[in-house]
């Protein structure tokens, strides 16, 4: 669209381009101008103020070309804008393919519209506006000493008149009056949530509650495992729609060959080499969801804490400080896996009261 100009960057006065415009130092103006600037007297009609910005760019032929280019950019932008509206009206959504088509059309037309405006405006500034470089003096930021002194005087007078300094009783009671009110908003936040109590110490697991497979919600018999193998995510039966319960109760089970499970895994809490651990990482609570069958390592995808499955899910790498708690399991009368009880320690991330 504008291969001759712009190149997508804003003008950046290169030092070797000689400024076409005047170089005026505003800080050191001729006396007449000084009055306008400092005294605020607007220039009067009979003696117009000298021009500060030139009216025309240096190279008028180049400017003519630039003008056409800018107009072309703006026309492209206008057409793209019309295209955007057309695409909105013409293209339906409601399916993945349709959405992608619509996104492409809307996005492209919007981009082109903005690019047209951007390139147009850039060429305009760079090649149509006369170049100027103006030097303006900075005033010191600090007020002059007399202004400060005057302010201090006003302030002191006001303070005296208010009697604030003179009457400590008023001062102190005022402060005393505002303090409780200042604390009130914090007190008001108290009902944002219940107190934790012991809720972090328990999950919904209890004696006899069945372990069901996540998603399919089917109970599990030890015999369903033909051989030792992968990791299965289980949840307490009947809680599949209760995220609050699942956030603590999600559990994994892994079947091991006889003799593979070792201390500190509690063997009494396992059934036929099947062991159940909390799925909630003891670091900051992500569900541990990767299992490497060859090494028997359970890996948390969040910060890569790694737990040794056959040895009580002890931490062998990563920032987690505690093993995954083990859920005591057994089978019920129908031969399905059930919990013997809740976890014997809090699951998930540490907290201050955990101990």
Partner 1 sequence: MANRALDGVGGFLDDRFRGAKSFRTLFKKIFPDHWTFLLGEIALYCFIILLLTGTFLTFFFQPSMTDVIYHGSYTHLDGIRMSEAYASTLNISFDVRGGLLMRQIHHWAADLFMAAIFAHMLRIFFTGAYRKPREVNWLIGIVLLTLGMLEGLFGYSLPDDLLSGAGLRILEGVMQSIPIVGTYLAFFLFGGAFPGHLIIPRLYILHVLLIPGLILALITAHLFIMFHQKHTQMPGKGRTDKNVVGAPLYPYFMAKTGAFFFFTFAALALASTFAQINPVWLYGPYTPVAMSAGSQPDFYMGMLEGALRVMVPWEWNVAGHTFSFNVFLPALLPLGIIFTAAALWPFIEQWITGDKREHHVNDRPRNAPTRTALGMAVITFYGVLWLEGANDIIADHLNIALYTTTRIAQVSMFVAPVLAYIITKRICLGLQRKDLHLLEHGVETGIIRQMPSGEFIEITRPVSEEEQAKLAFPARPPGLPAPDSADENGIPAPGTRGAIGKVRARLNTILTESVELPGSNGHTNGHGADGSGQAQDEPEHAAVPAGGVPDGSQEIAPGAGQADSGSSGDDAPDQ
Positions 214 through 243 that interact with partner 1 (CB under 8 A):
214, 233, 235, 241, 243
* Count, residues near ligand FES per rule CB under 6 A: 12
> Of 167 and 303, which CB lies nearer to partner 1 in the complex structure?
303
Helix (H, G, I), strand (E, B) or coil at 122: helix
74 vs 115: CA distance, rounded Å:
9
70-109 residues in contact with partner 1 (CB under 8 A) are 88, 91-96, 99, 102-104, 106-108
> Of 209 and 281, which CB lies nearer to ligand FES in the complex structure?
281
CB of 298 to ligand FES, least distance (A): 10
Q: Does 276 bind partner 1 (CB under 8 A)?
A: no
* Count, residues near partner 1 per rule CB under 8 A: 99
**Residue 145 interacts with, from ligand FES, partner 1, none (CB under 5-8 Å by kind):** none
Residue 6 C-alpha from the chain's centroid: 34
CB of 292 to partner 1, least distance (A): 11
Q: How large is the C-alpha radius of gyration of the chain?
A: 38
Interstrand relation of 274-278 and 251-255 (parallel, antiparallel or unpaired): antiparallel
The single residue among 21, 29, 130, 318 that binds ligand FES, judged by CB under 6 A, is 318
> Of 160 and 292, which CB lies nearer to partner 1 in the complex structure?
292
Stretch that binds ligand FES, among 20-28, 48-56, 61-69, 281-289 (CB under 6 A): 281-289
Stretch that binds partner 1, among 175-183, 204-212, 327-335, 345-353 (CB under 8 A): 345-353
**Residue 102 interacts with, from ligand FES, partner 1, none (CB under 5-8 Å by kind):** partner 1
Which has the closest alpha carbon to 118: 74, 87, 156, 151?
74
Task: Give the number of other Cβ atoms within 10 Å of residue 205's Cβ.
Answer: 26
Which has the closest alpha carbon to 115: 7, 196, 217?
7
User: Phi-psi category of 318—alpha, beta or left, where left has phi over 0 and alpha has psi -120 to 50?
Assistant: left
Stretch that binds ligand FES, among 76-84, 103-111, 197-205, 317-325 (CB under 6 A): 317-325
Sheet with 290-292, side-by-side order of all strands: 290-292, 297-299, 306-308, 314-317
SS3 track for 161-227? HHCCCCCHHHHHHHHHHHHHHHHHHHHHHHHHCCCCCCHHHCCCCCCCCEEEECCCCCECCHHHCCC
Q: Does 313 bind ligand FES (CB under 6 A)?
A: no
DSSP readout, 4-16?
Answer: TTTTTS-----TT
Tokens linked to 8 = 């997508």
179-218 residues in contact with partner 1 (CB under 8 A) are 189-190, 192-196, 199-200, 214
Q: Yes or no: say if 159 and 165 are a contact pair by the CB < 8 Å rule.
A: yes
DSSP readout, 228-243?
Answer: S--EEEEEETT-TT-H
In degrees and rounded to multiples of 5, residue 223 shows phi and psi of -70, -15
CB of 351 to partner 1, least distance (A): 4
> Of 300 and 329, which CB lies nearer to ligand FES in the complex structure?
300
Which has the closest alpha carbon to 340: 260, 241, 270?
270
Q: Does 284 bind ligand FES (CB under 6 A)?
A: yes
> Of 274 and 298, which CB lies nearer to ligand FES in the complex structure?
298
57 vs 78: CA distance, rounded Å:
27
Q: Does 247 bind ligand FES (CB under 6 A)?
A: no
Q: Does 322 bind partner 1 (CB under 8 A)?
A: yes
The single residue among 86, 238, 317, 344 that binds partner 1, judged by CB under 8 A, is 317
Q: What does the binding site for ligand FES look like in residue numbers (CB under 6 A)?
A: 281, 283-286, 300, 302-303, 305, 318-320
């Amino acid at each position: 669209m504008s291969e001759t100009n712009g190149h997508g960057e804003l003008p950046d006065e290169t030092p070797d381009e000689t400024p076409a415009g005047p170089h005026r130092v505003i800080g050191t103006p001729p006396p007449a101008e000084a009055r306008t600037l400092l005294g605020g007297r607007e220039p009067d009609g009979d003696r117009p103020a000298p021009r500060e910005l030139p009216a025309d760019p240096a190279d008028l032929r180049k400017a003519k070309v630039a003008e056409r280019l800018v107009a072309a950019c703006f026309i492209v932008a206008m057409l793209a804008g019309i295209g955007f509206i057309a695409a909105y009206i013409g293209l339906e959504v409601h399916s993945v393919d349709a959405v992608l088509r619509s996104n492409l059309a809307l996005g492209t037309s919007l981009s082109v519209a903005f690019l047209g405006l951007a390139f147009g405006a850039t060429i305009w500034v760079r090649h149509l506006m006369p170049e100027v470089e103006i030097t303006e003096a900075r005033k010191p930021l600090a007020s002059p000493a007399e202004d400060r002194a005057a302010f201090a005087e006003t302030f002191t007078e006001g303070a005296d008149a208010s009697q604030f300094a003179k009457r400590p009783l008023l001062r102190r009671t005022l402060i005393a009056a505002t303090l409780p009110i200042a604390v009130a908003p914090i007190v008001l936040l108290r009902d944002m949530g219940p107190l934790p109590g012991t809720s972090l110490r328990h999950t919904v697991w209890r004696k006899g509650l069945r372990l069901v497979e996540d998603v399919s919600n089917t109970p599990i018999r030890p015999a369903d495992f033909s051989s030792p193998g992968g990791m299965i995510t289980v949840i307490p039966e009947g809680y599949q729609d209760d995220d609050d319960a699942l956030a603590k109760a999600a559990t994994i089970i892994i079947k091991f060959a006889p003799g593979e499970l070792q201390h500190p895994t509690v063997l009494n809490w396992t059934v036929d080499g099947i062991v159940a651990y909390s799925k909630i990482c003891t670091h900051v609570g992500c569900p541990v969801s990767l299992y490497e069958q060859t090494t028997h390592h359970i890996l948390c995808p969040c910060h890569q804490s790694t737990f040794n499955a056959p040895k009580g899910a002890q931490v062998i790498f990563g920032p987690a400080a505690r093993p995954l708690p083990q859920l005591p399991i057994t089978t019920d009368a129908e031969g399905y896996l059930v919990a013997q009880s809740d976890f014997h320690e809090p699951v998930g991330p540490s907290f201050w009261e955990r101990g």
